[in-house]
Structure 1
């Protein structure tokens, strides 16, 4: 007899989400979490870093307080207690984690089992072994965390370094006076800006030709310009070859440049953490990018599904939760639902924020022969002027019939503003639907409607020869003569 309908492997937010969601269908569910539920998970560290990023925005507001007429004592700007800021961020994460503590999960009907699990095969069934317990289930869902990939750089281990998941280790020390961030992961960009705003001299070193290489070029270059304007040194197309500890400083050799700092932060890529599950024993294929799944998120073993970090790619919790939804529909009901990432937005919480959904301009032009690109700038929006946040733009990429291929927003609250485009694309609404909205005045949402209206006007005008409009206007003018 089977013990469960579903065993979720991994205490990640996506794993917890899947376990709770499955109980809503009256399924018998177990959640295997290792090492412990709580703020030691890497995904909770992601929450932790987001909370810390907010501190950077507060510091920026204090620096610019004079713009609004406030007289801020100089000592207020210089009296940041870095350890206290980290403790505040940790308390926020702790409060969030309490929403799904082991006790809360148990009250919802989830059997929480702590420990390392691995698959083992028994003819004709197989199970997940956790310590001395064997969990037999109808289906399994792998939702384990990912771990930072530390590049093989000569001298790095001996010099020491931090990762986005270990920033909390600085809670009992002073803010480093200088920091080198190595890598092009979005969280590295966010943390580089945060530490700079908290008073740290920051250098960002990436091997690509620009930061955020996966994002729209125009959007990424604007973020890069903002970082440089704030005093961050951005070194592109530099590969770090060695690290040395000299005279109380950590030195890196990047190309022909030698850069020194008090601390080094590695923010390159992350690798799926599923190597200890004994996947070979149950016929689950995987590679360096992650576990191999089909469009239904089913692995090469039809009883095992996977979602989240273990599949590779950006570490966005909302995308992992979306994958968990699809996987649950398939493993608890009939396997017919398929993932479609085209309409899922995401954002990089720099300042200004960068948010997108759908294709970039370059991707759209490679796929389609006639693409319309329309943009509006935040400086043209009243609320942006009032807030003093005029850096950025909204860009919509469409076909001539108004179909939205993608949208990119760089600016204040971009992560909030992008959702209207995601909804329109998901519901197959054309750009005219957004153009016809009447936004509240003054709000930042005006930029969405203004850009969409420009796109609609351009699309309609392009379908008719300019000579027609000139003749039409001459005719109307003649009526008043």
Structure 2
């Protein structure tokens, strides 16, 4: 079968651009179909978080709308696509869908693209709010929304992005209620999630856990804004995929450990797979996908050695496996350290570490909560990769370069 490209990437998202960038660097002929009228919407959300966290740390009130308008100008997010085109990627600013016969191709408004391989990376979108007057989290990307927000705000959802928004709104003086189902992060360590919940409550966020639909109760409350982020859905329905490619009802893409869909030359990466919407995971998936294509390998995505951060205001980092995924002889160690911040004229802060070990004391996973967690979590990643056994806390912290900062 004649092909036009080695790889056709579907989606102008962080994952899509990372995939295209790595593929072109490996000498592959690459096309990227934008597949959205709002490219890099996931990167706009990241930019919004960074702006809000910066403003939340300011001692004096600031003009939030002006800052957002300056930081999230929509035209700025076309620049990565332009830079990608300069490297040789054929960037196609259109939408399209698969055509399966007589041979597989991807058809846009003006093109019929035949690829040796395809990478599906269109990202996700928030499910539609049940009421017209409810806001989607993406509505906050519009700077004009911010001056209209009332004093009382309710957020429905437990996504990492929502937690950051709730924290920042509380720091701006809003009365914030966060409604979630049972737990904030059901797959993470419950003790550390409890610490995170306490942090949010101290910051001024009221947490409510509801087993029933909160919609009717919210409708009965006046003079408040409701931000509806109950769940996400994969942007796959417009691609004309066979039914076995997706997992209803959210329509996330179904892939194996090598990121292959039921058709082996079609891959997936990014939050459309249904995992956390985090850049660290998307980059790991993009790297694995391109290595497998360019080197004809069958590597699984290294999720167990990819550190990720779930919450930035109180750094909450994890790497590896934990809890129910441990082997029968697995165990854990946990310790809390105050950090010595006297030199910076700040109050001491706590750093809490939980390590999951096998019977040979080799590290299998780690969760770190608090300041300096980023440095430690990558040290834990290195220990998992090298299979070095845990010895003592002194040795662990010294090798991470943090021993001198601890208060014993």
State whether TM-score is above 0.5: yes
Distance in 2 of aligned mates of 1:306 and 1:405: 27
Q: Deviations over 1:196-232 (max 9, x none)?
A: 1012110111121x32232211111111111112222
CA change 1:50–1:431 in 2 (3 A) is: farther
Ranges in structure 2 where 5+ consecutive residues have no aligned partner: none
Aligned-partner SS, 1:367 = coil
Cα deviation for residue 134 of structure 1 reads: 0.5
Correspondences of 1:196-235 after superposition (within 5 Å): 196-208=170-182, 210-235=183-208
CA change 1:389–1:269 in 2 (3 A) is: farther
- Pair 1:169-2:138 in alignment: no
| TM-score, normalised with respect to structure 2 | 0.89
In structure 2, the partner of 1:194 is 168
Distance in 2 of aligned mates of 1:157 and 1:343: 41
Cα deviation for residue 290 of structure 1 reads: 1.6
In structure 2, the partner of 1:291 is 253
Distance in 1 of aligned mates of 2:145 and 2:178: 24
Aligned-partner SS, 1:101 = helix
Structure 1 window deviating more from structure 2 (305-314 vs 288-297): it is 288-297
In structure 1, the partner of 2:110 is 132
Q: Deviations over 1:311-365 (max 9, x none)?
A: 11110122112111111122233142112311211112342121111233x336x
Aligned-partner SS, 2:125 = strand
CA change 1:277–1:422 in 2 (3 A) is: same
In structure 2, the partner of 1:463 is none
Cα deviation for residue 425 of structure 1 reads: 0.9
CA change 1:384–1:346 in 2 (3 A) is: farther
Aligned-partner SS, 1:162 = coil
Distance in 1 of aligned mates of 2:270 and 2:29: 22
Contact 1:355/1:418 (<8 A) preserved: yes
Contact 1:189/1:350 (<8 A) preserved: no
Contact 2:9/2:119 (<8 A) preserved: yes
Distance in 1 of aligned mates of 2:75 and 2:339: 40
Distance in 1 of aligned mates of 2:139 and 2:89: 29
Cα deviation for residue 112 of structure 1 reads: 0.5
In structure 2, the partner of 1:357 is 319
In structure 2, the partner of 1:460 is none
Cα-Cα RMSD: 2.7
In structure 2, the partner of 1:101 is 81
Distance in 2 of aligned mates of 1:94 and 1:418: 35
- Pair 1:269-2:269 in alignment: no
Distance in 2 of aligned mates of 1:335 and 1:438: 33
Distance in 2 of aligned mates of 1:373 and 1:276: 47
Number of residue pairs the alignment of both structures matches: 401
Cα deviation for residue 284 of structure 1 reads: 5.8
In structure 2, the partner of 1:179 is 153
Distance in 2 of aligned mates of 1:15 and 1:270: 18
In structure 1, the partner of 2:43 is 44
Correspondences of 1:424-463 after superposition (within 5 Å): 424-432=383-391, 434-437=396-399, 439=401, 443=405, 446=406
Cα deviation for residue 30 of structure 1 reads: 0.6
In structure 2, the partner of 1:336 is 298
Moved over 4 A (4+): 258-261, 382-386, 440-443
Distance in 2 of aligned mates of 1:301 and 1:385: 56
Cα deviation for residue 46 of structure 1 reads: 2.4
CA change 1:238–1:230 in 2 (3 A) is: farther
Distance in 2 of aligned mates of 1:420 and 1:383: 25
Match of 2:218 among 225, 231, 252: 252
Match of 2:308 among 346, 358, 372: 346
CA change 1:171–1:424 in 2 (3 A) is: farther
Distance in 2 of aligned mates of 1:333 and 1:438: 34
Cα deviation for residue 429 of structure 1 reads: 2.5
CA change 1:56–1:359 in 2 (3 A) is: farther
Cα deviation for residue 165 of structure 1 reads: 2.1
Match of 2:63 among 81, 87, 93: 81
Contact 1:143/1:310 (<8 A) preserved: yes
CA change 1:370–1:332 in 2 (3 A) is: closer
In structure 1, the partner of 2:371 is 412
In structure 2, the partner of 1:470 is none
In structure 2, the partner of 1:14 is 15
Return the index of the structure with the highest Cα Rg.
1
Contact 2:288/2:301 (<8 A) preserved: yes
